[in-house]
Structure 1
């Protein structure tokens, strides 16, 4: 058999590359002669650079030191592609995992903007901007400040607190977009504000308490008035604490993160030659079918009638409904013990899952 293994990361526990290799190791214990094609996936969040770097020959990691979301320096990198475009990942510059403790009012996206500026300084011809995993609800103002935006905020004010001092803003000094433009990679379709917006839906995971959601939502509404030509209801504007809106205000466009990564890593060609596709993520839930990496992988396989197996650390959504909607075969493989087993030792779990799926296909 020719088997494509293309999971997303198990966020917070293991990278997509490590999970992919672990599933492959498990598979080989049962079917050592099969042809395994390893294609780690991402959706614009954590692991996007790793996935693209692993799949695109000639890509180059360029180191850069930026100001992290809590003002500490972060040593990270952006990725230069052979065609001259750059991949910049918010999770690696301004991400939630970079914090020691949640900072709902002061965490910011400055480092993300600094990494973008570094890529532009190095001559990037276009930008792919992965914006998942943000630590802040600053509407992307930190990133735009790093790209030249001027606001009325006093020196030293950071994060969502900057939005207390807008308008006015002066976008006249913003860096120009590169020749091939900038594409935001996101699997989030939320608007900027309202009950489905950045503060209400994603604020709690960044430390926004229920009694403060309205405050953050008002800040983002004020921020939206600074750019009357940009509709805050645009799908994806609320991604990454409103960074999606900030990038739209700069002139970027928003695309499906998983779809763009799939194209960049050559997944369609790989799936076209496969007998089976294995995908997955740490938690398969109600949002998984709405544009996340496993959904994109399954859609590619469904188009070609290729069976698909799903590896997940935790399954909280009906798999049968997902399988029926995708018109394909899905095998949900979970740990043999308690659900927390996958959190404690995700690579051992992934190896077990790979072996189980291989055994299921022995005939």
Structure 2
């Protein structure tokens, strides 16, 4: 899912997907290798094999490998929220500011900023998203976020982004603060 966002061409993503399907089939075939008490051909209560379970494809298939070792998959957003008390903090906030390195429609697939915005919406708190870069398909994000700000304001090389990071962040923070000031 996130291969193209990380730089894989559509052809490379298809090749990687096929290789991962073949790997999963090998490990899940009857009599296949077993580890950590996970049966090679076991299914969960919904009839899903390990490779079909939510989170199995996470981190390039790391979720599947961990399931094979007997791990339990949990939402990283939920773990982070519990560890930081985030939901209680959102409940007492006027605004929520969240961000990520690159934003596109995949953000709505349950990535942390989307989950933060969902929790904020449940409390009636507007959420603002700040991102290192925006993809071309961000229009659906405006249904979830009060505003979406890219940090980089013009086409730039990585070296330029790094050299101008402080100025870019300052400008973006100023814009966010001005928005909040006009809405409070």
TM-score, normalised by the number of residues in structure 2: 0.72
Please identify which structure carries the higher strand content.
Answer: 1
Q: How far apart are the structure 2 equivalents of 1:210 and 1:299?
A: 29
Contact 1:278 1:309 in 2 (8 A): yes
Residue 228 of structure 1: aligned partner: 41
Q: How far apart are the structure 1 equivalents of 2:26 and 2:7?
A: 20
Determine helix, strand or coil for the equivalent of 1:314: coil
| Residue number among 119, 126, 130 corresponding to 1:311 in the alignment | 130
Aligned 1:36-75 pairs, distance under 5 A = none
1:291-313 Cα shifts (integer Å, max 9, x gaps): 11110111111111112221111
- Structure 1 position 211, deviation (Å): 9.1
Residue 277 of structure 1: aligned partner: 96
Q: How far apart are the structure 2 equivalents of 1:241 and 1:359?
A: 40
Aligned 1:180-329 pairs, distance under 5 A = 213=16, 214-215=18-19, 217-225=21-29, 226=32, 227-230=40-43, 231=49, 232-324=51-143, 326=144, 328-329=145-146
Q: How far apart are the structure 2 equivalents of 1:336 and 1:201?
A: 23
Backbone CA RMSD of aligned residues: 3.1
Determine helix, strand or coil for the equivalent of 1:357: helix
Unaligned runs of 5+ residues in structure 1 are 1-195
- Structure 1 position 255, deviation (Å): 1.8
TM-score, normalised by the number of residues in structure 1: 0.39
Residue 157 of structure 1: aligned partner: none
Q: How far apart are the structure 2 equivalents of 1:258 and 1:296?
A: 7
Please identify which structure carries the higher helix content.
Answer: 2
Residue 54 of structure 1: aligned partner: none
Taking a change above 3 Å as real, the CA distance of residues 203 and 354 of structure 1, as seen in their structure-2 partners, is: closer
Q: How many residues align?
A: 162
Residue 330 of structure 1: aligned partner: 147
Contact 1:308 1:331 in 2 (8 A): no
1:144-166 Cα shifts (integer Å, max 9, x gaps): xxxxxxxxxxxxxxxxxxxxxxx
- Structure 1 position 334, deviation (Å): 3.8
Q: How far apart are the structure 2 equivalents of 1:317 and 1:211?
A: 22
1:66-101 Cα shifts (integer Å, max 9, x gaps): xxxxxxxxxxxxxxxxxxxxxxxxxxxxxxxxxxxx
Q: How far apart are the structure 1 equivalents of 2:174 and 2:108?
A: 25
Determine helix, strand or coil for the equivalent of 1:311: strand
Unaligned runs of 5+ residues in structure 2 are 33-39, 44-48
Contact 1:272 1:304 in 2 (8 A): yes
